[in-house]
Chain A
């Protein structure tokens, strides 16, 4: 059974750096095709994809946030870490990590975020 769980501070001050950890089980990020994404959901707004790390250590970031984000993995601990610098009240949101896995259909592989963590709520306030 695949599970993911986010952890990190519930409250950060403006300008501080946020560090979130996704601890997972039931799969390995050493396995070809496995990817973990971070997504956030600000209150009353739409889902926003933030970053992804792949089994081969390729890393991808949101176009608008890439200067503030860093994603990394520790395969021995089954963890993915996301850091976001210079936090602002507009970054207040629930942050999720998700397994982004491929599904074969015909001659193609379709990726979708099919297992999500429960989310962790982060408030940015002084």
Chain B
């Protein structure tokens, strides 16, 4: 199985901050990388697919980049509703695997 390593595991930030979350994979996955946001008690929500494509309805302050084994999720200006846990997930091979999550706190 492909191993996913996210960093940091948590971060503290303020409204308006620019933040970046990193995801590294144990082998190349080209650009078959998705990002999800999960709020407490809720189902995950797809933000980015294919490493850089914004899912319909997701605000443009979210962006993704990377290819191969190194990927980033950036929130350009953190909003109050963005405080949540973020997961990367590879869709290159089956079984799909998730990172351990990055909790974004105030």
Contacts and interface: CB of A to CB of B under 8 A. Distances in A.
Interface of A: 37, 39, 41, 46-49, 52, 60-63, 96, 98, 103, 105, 108, 110-114, 116-119
| Range class of the B interface residue count | 20 to 34
B49 to A, nearest CB: 4
B95 A60 contact: yes
Contact of A113 (B46, B53, B95, B101): B46
Nearest to A117: B43
A63 B100 CA distance: 17
Query: Interface majority SS on B: helix, strand, loop or mixed?
Result: loop
B10 to A, nearest CB: 12
A63 to B, nearest CB: 5
Contacts, number: 67
Contact of A110 (B49, B94, B98): B49
A96 B42 CA distance: 10
B44 to A, nearest CB: 6
Interface in B49-106: 49-50, 53, 55, 87, 89, 91, 94-101
A72 to B, nearest CB: 18
12 contacts: A46-B100, A47-B98, A49-B89, A49-B97, A49-B98, A98-B43, A110-B53, A111-B91, A112-B50, A112-B91, A113-B34, A114-B55
